[in-house]
């Protein structure tokens, strides 16, 4: 009797799952999902990019899979990504809800928060404040160049040796965003600074890993004492770090005379009063954490991708250095305007971003209303994954789609050009709000480093493994960076 009841119960569950995962009329096609796991068992979760490529070849530029019982639509290639994120940017401008990243951020901040009044307020504030603090102007340039000076001094001490670029560039880019947010600069060995970076890095790994996927797929396990609980412990410690900075600013600020991002946010809270807006201490904590993570991980990873490629292509490195020497001459310092006279350096930096595809699947989107893309019907609330890598490597859009080649950004006259398919910062209303900052950072860091140092693969470094480590932020596997002062041979 009990066995029959169990079989009946299992059968009902299977029927319920099959009904729940039945694709609606005119919904994008895709593989048949399995009970409980959906299509997850058909994907290599360590790096599903090749699987996504195969699915696109079979089902088209817009197709669907199931994460557990949830349908997910993937956009492949420039046409579908552009139509969804630009032409229908508001309709595809939401964020999926009920995931680990939502719970970490408590549905606040500026990156993960869903499309609506709160997001609009926070994004508008972030954009205007970054502009007012000199995004693209001299003051921001000075902040970045100050950090490049610290970085050069640190590398000088290790010239002729090998460095760990992951820690080094993470420190440097974190310091830039710290200067913007709360006016602080940290020594690279500072313990509180290293602890902050370590906790955020650990959280990123959990979100990227299998425990993050299980959290998102099986809600019943979320309260269990499993490894993903560490992410909330780290989150609370990071919030405490930023809370201490806010408390200090409240005691020392002069209203109306902001020194940094925290002062600007506090001024905004004062200005809004009790108008029912999203500006309060709780939103500010998540806002600051969003900026710190977004302003550190992508740019530092892009620098690591770039130097790895320059070590693999010493001819490209030498040509960059020749152009830098010609343009700068005896001048002590580069400036951002110099980029207009360095077409090859510009092409190399953009090729690093294209080939590295540091954010391969963008930040996941969701539909804010019933809509469509390439003729398919997409219901409101559907999770959308724009495959940015498929655009950055799309055949027909690039001269050398599968190779690292700066010629992808040069015309026949050797002038810098930027094809439409260059989308590392995504497109539309949700595109990366720190794009201008990132572009300035990458140019100033690359030029400053290449002007002073020669980078080479260490003799005892073994065979380079160029297979990327997949994740929300995709980067090269750990490697050591050989450094020499230019014009001087070191052992």
CATH level 3 topology of 77-485: Cytochrome p450 (1.10.630)
Q: Bridge partners of 62?
A: 75
- 10 vs 472, higher pLDDT: 472
Mean pLDDT across 382-404:
97
Q: What Å distances lie between residue 225 and 98, 203, 222, 231, 232, CA to CA?
A: 19, 16, 8, 12, 12
pLDDT-above-70 percentage for the chain: 93
pLDDT 10s digits, 421-442 = 999 999 999 999 889 899 999 9
| Exposed/middle/buried for residue 277 (C-beta within 10 Å: 0-12, 13-18, 19+) | middle
Q: What is the pLDDT of residue 393?
A: 98
pLDDT category of residue 21 using cuts at 50, 70 and 90: low
pLDDT 10s digits, 97-132 = 888 988 998 888 888 888 888 999 999 999 888 887
* Per-residue tokens: 440: 């300035």
Q: Is the pTM of this model over 0.75?
A: yes
| Exposed/middle/buried for residue 384 (C-beta within 10 Å: 0-12, 13-18, 19+) | buried
* Per-residue tokens: 108: 């606040």
- pLDDT of 340 higher than 70: yes
pLDDT-above-90 percentage for the chain: 61
3-class secondary-structure state, position 35? coil
- pLDDT of 135 higher than 70: no
Mean pLDDT across 41-67:
94
Q: What is the pLDDT of residue 19?
A: 47
| Exposed/middle/buried for residue 220 (C-beta within 10 Å: 0-12, 13-18, 19+) | exposed
pLDDT category of residue 299 using cuts at 50, 70 and 90: very high
- pLDDT of 489 higher than 80: no
Would you report the helix, strand and coil content of the chain in percent, each value rounded to 5? 55, 10, 35
pLDDT 10s digits, 322-336 = 999 999 999 999 999
Distance CA 249, CA 181 (A): 11
- In contact, 371 and 93? CB cutoff 8 Å: no
pLDDT category of residue 5 using cuts at 50, 70 and 90: very low
* Per-residue tokens: 429: 């209303």
Per-range mean pLDDT, top range of 17-21, 178-182, 210-214, 404-408: 404-408
Of 408, 313, 271, 429, whose CA–CA distance to 351 is shortest? 408
pLDDT 10s digits, 213-266 = 788 878 889 999 999 999 999 999 999 999 999 999 999 999 888 888 999 999
pLDDT category of residue 138 using cuts at 50, 70 and 90: low
Distance CA 406, CA 313 (A): 11
- Per the prediction, the chain carries an average pLDDT of 89
Q: Where are the domains of the chain?
A: 77-485
What angle, 0 to 180 degrees and rounded to 10, lies between the N-to-C axes of helices 314-328 and 343-356? 140
DSSP type of residue 481: E
């Amino acid at each position: 009797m009990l066995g029959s009841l169990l079989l009946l119960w299992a059968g009902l569950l299977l029927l319920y799952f099959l009904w729940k995962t039945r694709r609606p009329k005119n919904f994008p096609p895709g593989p048949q999902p399995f009970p409980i796991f959906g299509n997850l068992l058909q994907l290599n979760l360590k790096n599903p990019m090749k699987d996504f490529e195969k699915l696109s070849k079979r089902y088209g530029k817009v197709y669907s899979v199931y994460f557990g019982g949830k349908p997910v639509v993937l956009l492949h290639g420039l046409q579908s990504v552009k139509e969804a994120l630009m032409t229908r940017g508001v309709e595809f401008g939401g964020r999926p809800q009920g995931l680990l990243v939502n719970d970490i951020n408590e549905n606040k901040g500026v990156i993960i928060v869903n499309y609506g009044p709160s997001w609009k307020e926070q994004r508008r504030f972030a954009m205007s404040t970054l502009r007012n603090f000199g995004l693209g102007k001299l003051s921001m340039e000075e902040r970045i160049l100050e950090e490049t000076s610290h970085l050069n001094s640190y590398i000088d001490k290790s010239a002729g040796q090998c460095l760990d670029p992951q820690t080094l560039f993470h420190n440097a880019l974190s310091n830039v965003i710290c200067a913007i947010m709360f006016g602080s600069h940290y020594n690279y060995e500072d313990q509180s600074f290293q602890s902050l970076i370590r906790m955020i890095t650990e959280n990123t790994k959990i979100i990227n890993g299998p425990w993050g996927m299980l959290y998102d797929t099986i809600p019943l396990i979320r309260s269990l004492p499993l490894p993903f609980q560490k992410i909330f412990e780290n989150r609370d410690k990071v919030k405490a770090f930023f809370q201490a900075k806010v408390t200090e600013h409240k005691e020392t600020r002069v209203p109306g005379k902001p020194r940094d991002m925290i002062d600007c946010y506090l001024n905004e809270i004062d200005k809004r009063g009790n108008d029912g807006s999203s500006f309060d201490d709780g939103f500010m904590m998540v806002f600051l954490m969003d900026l710190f993570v977004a302003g550190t991980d992508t740019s530092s990873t892009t620098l690591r991708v770039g130097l790895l490629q320059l070590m693999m292509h010493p001819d490209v490195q030498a040509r960059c250095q020749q152009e830098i020497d010609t343009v700068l001459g005896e001048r002590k310092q580069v400036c951002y305007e110099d980029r207009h006279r360095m077409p090859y350096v510009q092409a190399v930096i953009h090729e690093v971003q294209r080939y590295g595809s540091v954010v391969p699947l963008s930040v996941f989107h969701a539909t804010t209303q019933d809509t469509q893309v390439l003729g398919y019907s997409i219901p409101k609330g559907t999770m959308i994954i724009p495959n940015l890598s498929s655009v950055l490597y799309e055949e027909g859009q690039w001269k050398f789609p599968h190779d690292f080649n700066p010629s992808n950004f040069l015309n026949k006259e050797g002038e810098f050009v930027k094809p439409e398919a260059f989308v590392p910062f995504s497109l539309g209303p949700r595109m990366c709000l720190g794009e201008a900052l990132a572009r300035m950072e990458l140019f100033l860091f690359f030029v400053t480093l290449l002007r002073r140092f020669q980078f080479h693969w260490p003799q005892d470094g073994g065979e380079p493994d160029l297979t990327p480590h997949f994740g929300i932020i995709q980067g090269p596997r750990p490697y050591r960076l050989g450094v020499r002062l230019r014009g001087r041979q070191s052992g």
